[in-house]
């Protein structure tokens, strides 16, 4: 396969050109001939012009690449090594929503030929590739997996907004449905992933490895959030505690925070779903999720109590919330816990002004029904810095005081100010 790809007798297809699929497709297209397929035609039109609709890559990433951007499934027939990188979200009940993944399996299945490879990159629960996707591939192609075509799994580990750890620079786990396919898949990825590859023992092992990477992070942050709630009651600053504890060589460096986005706060639900299907009821993972999901409510309640203590009526109060994206320096607002925080405050009739230098006001209105202010005003009763965007890093205490009234409350959730201000008339709090 590798030789034929190198000689451009065969092509790679990437299905789903989002945060994961597009950088991967372009990395492969520097060496091989690639078909980039996505069902979203407006996105395809932008990519044809060298624009990344997810705003992660600049135009230079499209240079010197051999890639056809298409929304026509039939074009997948030209390819022999298909990589599926579509979203794997959860529904309103926190259950896996496999619709995009099964839809992509149908698109590939309809065009599959003998000798083809299909590699799944989307984050799933162990067993999903073989139990949910392969039957669709077999049914639509009339071919048999293992005999006529091969399947593999290679999870993605990119980190949105991170310009340093780009796809080629992150060690990649790969797995095939048998030893031979594992080797072939490994060789193809190794041709572009400079950081190297790791051959997992099976597809299920690779699926499980990915889902626990993010679950582990979720749990570590949940522990920090639980500590933040405890220490808040004790009147101790959590950051100062973590700094002191962090002087021990084996203390793990995690921090409290709002866990949003489409990976860390989502992937544990995939593992929970599969566990529950097997009659298990994981306690630690469930608790971690609940703690992290409860944080917006905790912060909102704390702020409203503070407003009342200061003699301010919440319904007459004006609060500025800075940042709504799920993390710093990205435009992605999916599963933003800041939106939950804003809605909680609005439940208390607080007048919230929302601002973010990266988020699109249209997307925020569409996704959450929240409007953003064009300009930051003055005379706020409180300011919440919810996301540590680069643009905010040079704002100092004088700035925050200048936009607040005489009884200022600053909730610096991510510890934007390096020093804890000790001013008497300022109520400063960080997670
Ligand atoms: N974003 C990350 O940082 C990241 C990191 C590691 C793993 N992952 C995982 O990778 C997968 C993809 O995530 P993403 O962030 O790139 O998603 P995304 O939402 O950015 O992009 C997905 C793309 O797939 C397209 N799509 C949806 N259904 C399709 C279909 N049936 N056929 C073809 N295209 C389809 C969408 O139009 C979109 O362009 C998910 O499983 C995610 O959990 C994401």
- The protein residue whose alpha carbon is closest to atom 32 in ligand 1 is 104
From CA 192, how far away is CA 377, in angstroms rounded? 49
Domains of the chain, CATH where assigned: 2-201 (3.40.50.720), 216-429 (3.40.50.720)
Ligand 1 pocket, CB under 6 A: 15-21, 37-40, 43, 54, 85-88, 100, 103-104, 107, 121-123, 156-158, 160, 262-263
How far, in Å, from the CA of 215 to the mean position of ligand 1? Answer: 19
Split at pLDDT 50, 70, 90, the class of 278 is: very high
Report, as an integer, the average pLDDT of 355-365: 96
- The protein residue whose alpha carbon is closest to atom 10 in ligand 1 is 122
How far, in Å, from the CA of 86 to the mean position of ligand 1? Answer: 4
Residue 312 contacts residue 407 (beta carbons within 8 Å): yes
- The DSSP bridge pattern shows strands 34-37 and 12-15 to be parallel
- The protein residue whose alpha carbon is closest to atom 18 in ligand 1 is 18
From CA 367, how far away is CA 365, in angstroms rounded? 6
**What is the pLDDT, as a whole number, of residue 163?**
84
**What is the pLDDT, as a whole number, of residue 314?**
97
**What is the pLDDT, as a whole number, of residue 423?**
86
Top mutation candidate among 86, 157, 213 for ligand 1, by most atoms within 8 Å of CB: 86
How far, in Å, from the CA of 19 to the mean position of ligand 1? Answer: 6
**What is the pLDDT, as a whole number, of residue 328?**
93
Top mutation candidate among 85, 158, 335 for ligand 1, by most atoms within 8 Å of CB: 85
- The protein residue whose alpha carbon is closest to atom 17 in ligand 1 is 87
**What is the pLDDT, as a whole number, of residue 160?**
81
Return the ligand 1 atom nearest residue 43 CA.
39
Top mutation candidate among 13, 14, 17, 18 for ligand 1, by most atoms within 8 Å of CB: 18
Split at pLDDT 50, 70, 90, the class of 358 is: very high
**What is the pLDDT, as a whole number, of residue 394?**
93
From CA 106, how far away is CA 200, in angstroms rounded? 26
- The protein residue whose alpha carbon is closest to atom 35 in ligand 1 is 16
**What is the pLDDT, as a whole number, of residue 152?**
98
- In terms of Cβ atoms closer than 10 Å to its own Cβ (0-12, 13-18, 19+), residue 243 is exposed
How far, in Å, from the CA of 171 to the mean position of ligand 1? Answer: 20
At residue 231, does pLDDT exceed 90?
yes
How far, in Å, from the CA of 23 to the mean position of ligand 1? Answer: 12
pLDDT in tens, 151-193: 999 999 998 888 888 999 999 999 999 999 999 999 999 999 9
At residue 55, does pLDDT exceed 90?
no
At residue 392, does pLDDT exceed 90?
yes
Cα 164–Cα 168–Cα 169 angle in degrees, nearest 5: 45
From CA 231, how far away is CA 238, in angstroms rounded? 6
From CA 406, how far away is CA 426, in angstroms rounded? 9
**225 closest CA partner among 255, 266, 269, 253:** 255
How far, in Å, from the CA of 411 to the mean position of ligand 1? Answer: 33
Split at pLDDT 50, 70, 90, the class of 301 is: very high
pLDDT in tens, 20-48: 999 999 999 999 999 999 999 999 999 99
From CA 141, how far away is CA 226, in angstroms rounded? 50
At residue 228, does pLDDT exceed 90?
yes
- The protein residue whose alpha carbon is closest to atom 20 in ligand 1 is 18
pTM of the predicted protein model: 0.93
How far, in Å, from the CA of 219 to the mean position of ligand 1? Answer: 24
pLDDT in tens, 307-343: 999 999 999 999 999 999 999 999 999 999 999 999 9
Residues whose CB falls within 8 Å of the CB of residue 177, separated by 6 or more in sequence, listed in order = 130, 145, 146, 150, 151, 152, 203
Task: Tell me the pLDDT of the chain averaged across its residues.
Answer: 96
Return the ligand 1 atom nearest residue 107 CA.
32
User: What is the Rg, in whole angstroms, of the alpha carbon atoms belonging to the chain?
Assistant: 24
At residue 296, does pLDDT exceed 90?
yes
From CA 362, how far away is CA 169, in angstroms rounded? 34
Q: Which residues are catalytic, by number?
A: 263
**What is the pLDDT, as a whole number, of residue 424?**
85
pLDDT in tens, 80-139: 999 999 999 999 999 999 999 999 999 999 999 999 999 999 999 999 999 999 999 999
From CA 114, how far away is CA 101, in angstroms rounded? 22
Residue 238 contacts residue 224 (beta carbons within 8 Å): yes
Return the ligand 1 atom nearest residue 103 CA.
31
- The protein residue whose alpha carbon is closest to atom 26 in ligand 1 is 16
Top mutation candidate among 87, 89, 103, 261 for ligand 1, by most atoms within 8 Å of CB: 87
Return the ligand 1 atom nearest residue 157 CA.
6
> Which pair of tokens denotes residue 101?
């993944």
């Amino acid at each position: 396969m590798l030789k034929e790809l190198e000689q451009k007798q065969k092509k790679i297809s990437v299905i789903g050109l989002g945060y994961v699929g597009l950088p991967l497709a372009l990395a492969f297209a520097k060496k091989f001939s690639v078909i980039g397929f996505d069902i979203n035609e407006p996105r395809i039109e932008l990519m044809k012009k060298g624009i990344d609709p997810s705003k992660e890559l600049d135009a230079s990433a499209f240079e010197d690449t051999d890639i056809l951007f298409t929304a026509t499934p039939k074009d997948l027939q030209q390819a022999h090594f298909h990589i599926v990188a579509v979203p794997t979200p959860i529904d309103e009940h926190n259950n896996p929503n496999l619709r995009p993944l099964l839809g992509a399996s149908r698109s590939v299945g309809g065009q599959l030929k003998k000798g083809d490879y299909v590699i799944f990159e989307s984050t799933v629960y162990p067993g999903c590739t073989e139990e949910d996707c392969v039957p669709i591939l077999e049914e639509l192609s009339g071919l048999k997996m293992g005999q006529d075509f091969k399947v593999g799994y290679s999870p993605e580990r990119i980190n949105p907004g991170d310009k340093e750890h780009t796809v080629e620079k992150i060690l990649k786990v790969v797995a095939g449905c048998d030893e031979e396919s594992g080797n072939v898949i490994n060789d193809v990825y190794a041709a572009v992933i400079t950081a190297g590859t790791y051959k997992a023992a099976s597809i299920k092992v690779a699926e499980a490895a990915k889902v626990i990477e993010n679950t582990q992070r979720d749990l570590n942050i949940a522990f920090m959030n639980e500590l933040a709630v405890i220490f808040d009651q004790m009147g101790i600053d959590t950051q100062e505690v973590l700094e002191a504890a962090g002087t021990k060589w084996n203390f793990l460096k995690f921090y409290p925070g709002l866990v949003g986005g489409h990976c860390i706060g989502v992937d544990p639900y995939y593992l929970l779903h599969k566990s529950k299907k097997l009659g298990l009821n994981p306690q630690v993972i469930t608790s971690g999720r609940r703690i992290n999901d409860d944080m917006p409510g905790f912060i909102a309640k704390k702020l409203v109590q503070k407003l009342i203590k200061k003699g301010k009526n919440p319904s007459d109060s004006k609060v500025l919330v800075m940042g709504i994206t799920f993390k710093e320096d990205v435009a992605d607002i999916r599963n933003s816990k800041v939106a939950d925080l804003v809605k909680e405050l609005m439940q208390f009739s607080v007048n919230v002004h929302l601002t973010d230098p990266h988020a699109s006001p249209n997307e925020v209105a569409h996704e959450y029904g929240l409007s953003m202010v064009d300009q930051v005003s003055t005379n706020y009763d409180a300011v919440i810095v919810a996301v540590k965007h680069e643009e905010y890093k040079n704002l100092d205490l004088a700035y925050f005081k200048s936009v607040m009234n005489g009884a200022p409350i600053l909730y610096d959730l991510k510890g934007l100010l390096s020093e804890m201000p000790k001013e008497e008339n300022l109520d400063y709090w960080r997670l």
